[in-house]
Chain A
Amino acid sequence: MTSPTLALPFGLAATAASGGSAASPREAEREAIEACRRGEREAFDRLVEQYQRDVYRLCYRYVNDHEDANDLAQEVFIKAWRAIGRFRGESAFSTWLYRIAVNACLNFRALRRPITQELPETLADPVPLAAARVESDDEARRVRAAVSRLPEKQRATLILKIYHELTHEEVAEILGSTVGTVKANLFHALGNLRRLVGEERR
């Protein structure tokens, strides 16, 4: 689920201010990126406003902690600012930004390991199925904790596909993988998530 964005999409704010016609959000974003490449910090602030929620939530899914997600999200934008001169528009800006975020999260976890006991890639004996129903915040916390215990690639795939509603192709591009691998990882992630939540309940 993509988070509801409080900020006005690109172009709308300018339209409201000027009363005239404005570029499409995509065009406005492209112009903002060009302005950033010229060193205009105000333009980057608009990009931050547009994407900060998604980046924060992606980071939160990885680390399952507000403070860590906050630090990571800021680092992602600082890295993006430093690297935006090299962004050539060959992929969507969001895809490029997510790639930075995923790498930052992976590096963070590598440095902080072990935060939680991660699930091995394969499970021998699946836990018997039980009703999958989230009835409380406690259950939501259990699910988030289970997500953070998934193997790296499965976790990344599930977060990008389910929570950010990216296409298989976009996820593959971000993770440097193939579409087939993304689909397989997603399927295994879903099954493993179910089992891990079962463990968290016990």
Chain B
Amino acid sequence: MTRHLSDESLLRLVQGDSAEAERAHLSACGRCAERVEEARAGLTLARRADVPEPSPLYWEAMRLRIGRRIAEEPRRSPRWAWLAPILATAAAVAVVTLTTGRAHAPVAHPGPTLPAWSALPPAEDDVSLGVLEAVAVADGDLGTDDEGRGVSAFLAGLTDEEYRALADSLREAGKGGES
């Protein structure tokens, strides 16, 4: 008996799903038998030592505490979360386009019609419009949201209030890109 069983084989013996050869080895190897017996004893101990159960009220209190802390967390904008990397890319494209003067060049292939923008004050130099145009032109390459909608369709589905908030975000992004 020159070689002992591997840890995996010994664990199988502890758990009772070993192979015949492993059991045969065990019957002839005192060292392996001792290790298996020790691990079995450890398993028995582990299974009998449970965690003290807190009061039933404890779980409700924990939920309430977690709920309060989450309520204090900054409000997220999960509906736009998937747009963040797209808008960041589009903002960069728009900034580069504007700074190189290509924004005023004729468009060979007009992009899809942008959704109504009534919520925004009219301003020809509004950076957010350039960003949105870049987004809309590249719509086909930018993937879809969870409901399979493209960016233009998504924008078209926004409420006026959401438009305003998005436009504000884009203007802020534009200022950051220009500075």
Contacts of A78 in B (CB 8 A): 66, 69-70, 73
* Total count of chain A residues near the partner, CB < 8 A: 55
Inter-subunit contact B70/A66 (CB<8 Å): no
Chain A nearest Cβ from B131, distance in angstroms? 22
Inter-subunit contact B70/A41 (CB<8 Å): yes
Inter-subunit contact B7/A66 (CB<8 Å): no
Contacts of B46 in A (CB 8 A): 143, 147, 158, 162-163, 190, 193
Chain B, Cβ-Cβ closest to A81: B70
Chain B, Cβ-Cβ closest to A38: B78
A190 touching B43 in the complex, CB below 8 Å, given contacts A56-B62, A74-B69, A147-B49:
yes
Contacts of B77 in A (CB 8 A): 39
- Of listed A6, A73, A147, A186, residue having the most chain B CB within 10 A: A186
Q: Report how far A126 CA is from B34 CA in the complex, Å.
A: 11
Listed stretches B51-59, B93-101, B121-129, B150-158; interface member: B51-59
Q: Report how far A56 CA is from B152 CA in the complex, Å.
A: 45
Contacts of B78 in A (CB 8 A): 37-39, 85
Inter-subunit contact A187/B7 (CB<8 Å): yes
**Residue in A81, A146, A162 whose CB lies within 8 Å of B43:** A162
Flag A185-202 by CB within 8 Å of B: 1 or 0 each: 011111111110100000
Chain A, Cβ-Cβ closest to B6: A184
B109 contacts the other chain (CB 8 A): no
Flag A130-165 by CB within 8 Å of B: 1 or 0 each: 001110000110011011000000000010001100
Inter-subunit contact B41/A132 (CB<8 Å): yes
Chain B, Cβ-Cβ closest to A46: B63
| Contacts between chains A and B (CB distance < 8 A), count | 130
Contacts of B54 in A (CB 8 A): 56, 66
B176 contacts the other chain (CB 8 A): no
Chain B nearest Cβ from A68, distance in angstroms? 13
Chain B 37-53 residues near chain A, CB threshold 8 A: 37-52
A194 touching B42 in the complex, CB below 8 Å, given contacts A6-B59, A180-B8:
yes
B108 contacts the other chain (CB 8 A): no
- Of listed B7, B37, B42, B56, residue having the most chain A CB within 10 A: B42
- Of listed A37, A45, A82, A190, residue having the most chain B CB within 10 A: A190
Inter-subunit contact B38/A129 (CB<8 Å): yes
Contacts of B66 in A (CB 8 A): 45, 48, 52, 74, 77-78
**Residue in A44, A45, A140, A183 whose CB lies within 8 Å of B49:** A140
Q: Report how far A44 CA is from B49 CA in the complex, Å.
A: 31
A187 touching B62 in the complex, CB below 8 Å, given contacts A61-B51, A143-B46:
no
Inter-subunit contact A57/B79 (CB<8 Å): no
Inter-subunit contact B51/A60 (CB<8 Å): yes
B35 contacts the other chain (CB 8 A): yes
A49 contacts the other chain (CB 8 A): yes
B residues engaging A (CB < 8 A)? 7-8, 10-11, 14, 34-35, 37-52, 54, 56, 59, 62-63, 65-67, 69-71, 73, 75-79, 81, 146
Q: Add 15 more A-B contacts to A187-B8, A192-B42 (CB < 8 A).
A: A38-B78, A38-B79, A39-B77, A48-B67, A52-B66, A78-B69, A78-B70, A129-B41, A134-B48, A140-B48, A163-B46, A184-B7, A188-B7, A190-B38, A194-B39
